[in-house]
Amino acid sequence: MNIGFLGLGKLGLPVALATESKGHKVFGFDISEKTINNINNKVIDYREIWVEDYLPKTNLEIVNINKLVEKSDIIFVPIQTPHDEKYEGVTRIPSERADFDYTYLIKGVKNLSNEIEKQKKDKVVIIISTVLPGTITREIKPLLGNHTKLVYNPFFIAMGSTMKDFLHPEFVLFGRDDDYALNVGKEFYKTISKAPIYDTTIENAELIKVAYNTMISTKISFANTLMEMCYHLPNTDVDDVTNALKMSNKRLISGAYMSGGMGDGGGCHPRDNIAMSYLSKKFNISHNWFENIMTQRENQTEWLAKIIIEKSEGMQINILGKAFKAETNLILGSPAILLKNLLEEKNIKVNQWDPYVDGNYDNYLELYAWNKKPQLFFIATKHEFFTKIKFHRNSIVIDPWRYMPSIDIEHKIIQIGKNIN
């Protein structure tokens, strides 16, 4: 395939070279005369493994934007979306916050789409720039003509190993807009690696990209807090601690527990976070991460209580589930019970039942008349049993786990966190 790159900077050039290494013909355009001169002279002014070795051998063709559109089957857009220098992190971060700067991206995409429309031939445009959710729809799509077929494809790479990371990704992410563009993009990546492909809405893809990055920041912050704690605690070594944590490559460093639902529970999680928060305060740790975790858990449960109140409209409120873990009767530290207590603080009468804690479903069915009048049900524990309950046709079921049946039902279901039209 003929692959074009609108931008040959620290991201565009390594990816172009990686693409060429897989047998594709690559074309590039850049507005920086310095960048073009460096490429023509087979040099770069930054360190990037593999690029130094591959650049002297490249047949990358530098072209103007007219030729880029004319010659390319796919055009990647690796244009930067920078922040103001005051947010760079080399000085104190100011109190105010700001979005990314999309000036360069908007200008580049506008010029590219205008050229595509002039040539009156469909072209697949793959934007890889990091943006906040909603940006592509708000800022980019209005710039596109009918012949510009868009797909969003943010990369998960680390500067310094861009070629390597592009050729050996964990997964490939697409934010779909045009089915043709999506399919062309998928076919291209089959020539790059055997990595799994994940396609979703553009907004999801935008969020996944920034969430991926901030998750890395979270891990670093957590490890640094442990380091500071070890500084104060005798007979501790942060490397010993983190090396042990890394050995748990299923529960910790994986996708486990990365699903929306209720807060954590059990005999360890809330208790240990409280203890670690105490220790952080004792040593005056610069950032009390553990306090944040506890605050978030309670705030989230309070938010769920607010949703229940808003949606109940005077109906009887029932919480289904007491256990903190599905298919068990373990209630110690359960957020399901916290939810009931928070509602009762507001003088709201709440019924709560769990098949593995209370049993005797028929008695509760009769006692609370669940199938005889409209009521509100909140699924606090992800028990399979609840999927088999036949609710009154005018009842409301709130499901923060998004697992309850949502088709061929007579009641209303609200799936928390699922808001796709």
Q: Which of 149, 260, 128 is nearest to 206 (CA)?
A: 128
Per-residue pLDDT, 281: 86
Distance CA 333, CA 274 (A): 12
pLDDT at 93: 59
Q: Tell me what pLDDT residue 94 has.
A: 61
In angstroms, the CA 46 to CA 332 distance is: 54
Domains, the chain, in order of start with CATH, read 2-201 (3.40.50.720), 296-415 (3.40.50.720)
Contact 226, 238 (CB under 8 A): yes
Strands 148-152 and 172-176, bridge-based pairing: antiparallel
**340, 346 contact by CB (below 8 A):** no
Token pair recorded at residue 271: 């208790």
Tokens of 15: 């990816």
Cα distance between residue 26 and residue 20, in whole Å: 6
- The span from the CA of 110 to the CA of 77, in Å, is 11
- The whole model's pTM is what? 0.79
Q: What pLDDT score does 158 carry?
A: 82
The pLDDT score that the predictor gives to residue 125 is 98
pLDDT (tens digit, 0 to 9) for every residue of the chain, 421 residues total? 999 999 999 899 999 999 999 999 999 999 999 999 999 999 988 878 899 899 999 999 999 999 999 999 999 999 998 877 776 665 565 666 678 889 999 999 999 999 999 999 999 999 999 988 999 999 999 999 999 999 999 999 888 888 999 999 999 999 999 999 999 999 999 999 999 999 999 999 998 998 888 888 888 888 888 888 888 888 988 889 988 988 888 887 777 777 889 888 886 667 687 778 888 888 899 988 788 887 888 889 999 999 999 999 899 999 999 999 998 888 888 999 999 999 999 999 999 999 999 988 888 888 888 888 899 999 999 999 999 998 998 999 999 999 999 888 889 999 999 876 5
The pLDDT assigned to 348 comes to: 96
Residue 217 structure tokens? 């920041």
Calpha distance 193→19 (Å, rounded)? 11
Give one DSSP letter per residue of 282-294, joined into a string: HTT-SS-HHHHHH
326 is written with which tokens? 């599905």
Contact 176, 182 (CB under 8 A): yes
Q: Which amino acid is at 127?
A: I
**CB count, 10 Å around CB of 179?**
10
- DSSP state letter for 211: H
The pLDDT assigned to 172 comes to 98
